[in-house]
Chain A
Amino acid sequence: MSQATASLPSTRRAPERRTPPRLEALPRASRRARPKLFYAAVAVMTVMAVVVVQLLLSIGVSQGAYRIESLQQTKAHLARQYQQASEKVQTLSSPQNLAANAVALGMVSDASPVYLRLSDGAVIGAPTPASATADSTGQLVQNALTAGIPLVTASKSAKAPKDSKAAQGTATQTGTGAATGSTASGTGESGTPDSNQSSDDDSPVPWTGALPAPSTH
Chain B
Amino acid sequence: MTSVRAHRRRTAVAIATVLVIVAVFVVRLVDVQVVRADTLDRQAAERRGDVSVIEGTRGSILAEDGTVLARTVLRYNFIATPKYADKGTRTENGKAVKVTLQQAADAIAAITGQKASDITGPIEDALKQNKNSEYALVVKNVDASTYQKISALGISWLDAKSHQVRVYPDGAVAGNILGFLNGEGTAQAGLEKEYDKCLASSNGEQTYQVGADGVTIPGSTKVQKAAKNGGDVVTTIDPDLQWFSQDEIEKTVKELGAQFGMVSVVSVKDAKIKVAAQYPSADPNNLDATGTQYWKAMMFQDMYEPGSIFKPVTAAALLDTGMVTPTTQLVVPDTLSPQEGVFVSDSESHPVQNLTLTGVLTESSNVGMSELGTKMSDKERYDFMRKFGFGSTTGANFPGESAGLLSKPSQWDAQTRYATTFGQGLSTTQAQMMSAYQAIANGGVRVPLSLIAGCRQADGTMTDVPSSTGTRVVSKQTSQEILGMLENVLKGGPISTLPNLEIPGYLVAAKTGTAQEPDGNGGYKQSYYVSVMGVAPVDDPQYIVSVNIGFPTTITSSLAAGPLFKTMMSQVLKTFRVQPSTAPPADYPDTY
The residue in chain A whose Cβ has the minimal distance to the Cβ of B247 is: A140
The answer to whether B171 touches A144 (Cβ under 8 A) is yes
A65-93 CB mask vs B (1 if < 8 Å, else 0) is 11011000000010011011001001101
Does B410 make an interface contact (CB < 8 A)?
A: no
Known: A113-B570, A136-B251. A87 touches B169 (CB 8 A): yes
Q: Which residues of A contact B10 (CB under 8 A)?
A: 4
In the complex, are the beta carbons of A125 and B504 less than 8 A apart?
Answer: yes
Chain A positions within 8 Å of B553 at CB level: none
Please give, as numbers and ranges, the residues of chain B lying within 8 Å of A124 by CB-CB distance. Answer: 504-505, 580
A149 to B53, CA, bound (A): 35
Which residues of B sit under 8 angstroms from A175, Cβ to Cβ?
91-92, 152-154
Interface residues of B in 73-128 (CB under 8 A from A): 73-74, 91-94
Once the chains bind, are A84 and B144 in contact (CB under 8 Å)? yes
B94 touches A96 (CB 8 A): no
| Separation of A65 and B209 alpha carbons in the complex (Å) | 12
The answer to whether A112 and B289 touch across the interface, beta carbons within 8 angstroms, is no
Contacts of A81 in B (CB 8 A): 144, 148
B567 at the interface (CB under 8 A from A): yes
> B215 in the interface, Cβ–Cβ < 8 Å?
yes
A135 to B563: give the CA distance in the assembly, Å. 14
Instruction: Tell me if B171 and A80 are in contact (CB < 8 A).
Output: no
A201 to chain B, nearest CB (A): 11
What sequence of 0s and 1s flags, for each residue 29-52 of chain A, a beta carbon within 8 Å of any chain B beta carbon? Answer: 000000000000000000000000
Would A141 and B172 count as touching, CB distance under 8 A? yes
Determine whether the beta carbon of A145 is less than 8 Å from that of B285.
yes
CB distance from B506 to the nearest CB of A (A): 8
Question: Shortest beta-carbon distance, B570 to chain A, in Å?
Answer: 6
| Interface hits, B268-315 → A, CB 8 Å | 281, 283, 285-286, 289-290
Q: In this assembly, does B469 line the interface, its C-beta being within 8 Å of a C-beta of chain A?
A: no
A179 at the interface (CB under 8 A from B): yes
Complex CA–CA separation, A84 to B143 (angstroms): 7
Interface class of chain B by DSSP: mixed
Residue from A81, A114, A179 having most chain B Cβ neighbours under 10 A? A179
Point out the residues of chain B lying under 8 angstroms from A178, CB to CB. Answer: 91, 93-94
Cβ proximity bits B130-149 to A, threshold 8 Å, 1 near / 0 not: 00000000000001110111
Interface residue stretch chosen among B238-246, B433-441, B484-492: B238-246
A15 to chain B, nearest CB (A): 17
Query: Which chain A residues border B505 with CB–CB below 8 Å?
Result: 115, 117, 124-125
Interface residue? B48 (CB, 8 A): no
| CA of A61 to CA of B215, assembled, Å | 12
For B170, give its contact among A68, A77, A95 (CB under 8 Å): A95
Question: Is B151 within 8 A of A94, CB to CB?
Answer: no
Q: Please, how many angstroms separate the alpha-carbon atoms of A59 and B275 in the complex?
A: 63
Shortest B281–chain A CB gap in Å is 7
| A187: Cβ under 8 A from any B Cβ | no
> Are A141 and B246 neighbours in the complex by a CB distance under 8 Å?
yes
A142 on the B face (CB < 8 A): yes
Is there a chain B Cβ closer than 8 Å to A197's Cβ?
yes
> At the interface, yes or no: A111 with Cβ under 8 Å from chain B?
yes
- Indicate with 1 or 0, residue by residue over A92-124, a CB within 8 angstroms of chain B CB atoms: 011110010000000000011111010000001
Complex formed: what's the CA distance from A133 to B144 in Å? 40
A138 and B286 within 8 A (CB): no
Q: Which of B149, B171, B246, B250 interacts with A94 by CB under 8 Å?
A: B171
A64 beta carbon closer than 8 Å to chain B: yes
How does the 8 Å CB contact mask read for A146-178 relative to B, with 1 for contact and 0 for none?
100000000000000000000000001011101
Say yes or no: is A2 at the interface (Cβ < 8 Å to chain B). no
B250 surroundings in chain A (CB, below 8 A) = 140-141
Q: How far is the CA of A64 from the CA of B218 in the complex (A)?
A: 8
Main secondary structure of the interface of A (DSSP, over half): helix
Tell me whether B216 and A69 are in contact (CB under 8 A).
yes
In the complex, chain A residues whose CB is within 8 Å of the CB of B567:
111
Q: Report the minimum CB–CB distance from B361 to chain A (whole Å).
A: 27
B1-15 vs A, CB cutoff 8 Å, 1 = contact: the mask equals: 001000100100000
B458 beta carbon closer than 8 Å to chain A: no
> B502's closest neighbor in chain A, by CB?
A125
Q: Does B323 contact A (CB under 8 A)?
A: no
Question: Hey, what's the 0/1 contact readout for B46-67 against A, CB within 8 Å counting as 1?
Answer: 0000000000000000000001
Please name all residues of chain B whose beta carbon is closer than 8 Å to the beta carbon of A141 when the two chains form the complex: 171-173, 243, 246-247, 250, 281
Interface pair B148/A95, CB less than 8 Å apart: no
Q: A145's contact among B91, B167, B215, B570, by CB below 8 Å, is which? A: B167
Given contacts A175-B152, A175-B154, contact A142 B216 (CB under 8 A): no
Q: Let me know if B217 and A96 touch, CB within 8 A.
A: no
Q: Is the CB of A4 within 8 A of B243?
A: no
Cβ–Cβ < 8 Å partners of B169 in chain A: 87, 90-91, 93-94, 145
Distance to closest chain B CB from A92 (angstroms): 9
**Distance in Å: Cβ of B441 to nearest Cβ of chain A:** 22
CA distance A172 to B147 in the complex (A): 11
A189 at the interface (CB under 8 A from B): no
Q: Is A7 an interface residue (CB 8 A)?
A: yes
Decide: A142 near B148, CB < 8 A? Known: A87-B169, A175-B91.
no
Chain A residue with the shortest CB-CB distance to B72: A83
How many angstroms between the C-alpha atoms of A91 and B573 in the bound complex? 27
In the assembled complex, the Cα of A68 lies from the Cα of B218 at a distance in Å of: 9
Q: How far is the CB of A97 from chain B (nearest CB, A)?
A: 9
Is B574 positioned at the interface, with any CB of A under 8 Å from its CB? yes
A143 at the interface (CB under 8 A from B): yes
The answer to whether A99 touches B243 (Cβ under 8 A) is yes
Complex interface: chain A residues within 8 A of B290 (CB): 142
Among A77, A141, A143, A182, the most chain B Cβ lie within 10 Å of the Cβ of: A141
Cα separation A64 to B221 with both chains bound (whole Å):
14
**B68 close to A (CB within 8 Å):** yes
Indicate with 1 or 0, residue by residue over B27-62, a CB within 8 angstroms of chain A CB atoms.
000000000000000000000000000000000000
Q: A7-B3, A64-B218 provided; 7 other pairs, C-beta below 8 A?
A: A87-B167, A95-B173, A95-B244, A141-B281, A144-B283, A145-B169, A179-B154
Query: Nearest 10 pairs between A and B by C-beta?
Result: A143-B171, A124-B505, A178-B94, A95-B243, A125-B504, A90-B169, A144-B286, A175-B152, A144-B285, A80-B144
Residue pairs across A and B with Cβ atoms less than 8 A apart, 13 shown, are A65-B216, A69-B215, A69-B216, A94-B173, A95-B239, A96-B170, A99-B243, A142-B283, A143-B172, A144-B286, A146-B171, A176-B148, A178-B93
Residues of B with Cβ closer than 8 Å to A?
Answer: 3, 7, 10, 67-68, 71, 73-74, 91-94, 143-145, 147-149, 151-154, 167-173, 215-219, 239-240, 243-244, 246-247, 250-251, 281, 283, 285-286, 289-290, 500, 503-505, 567, 570, 573-574, 580
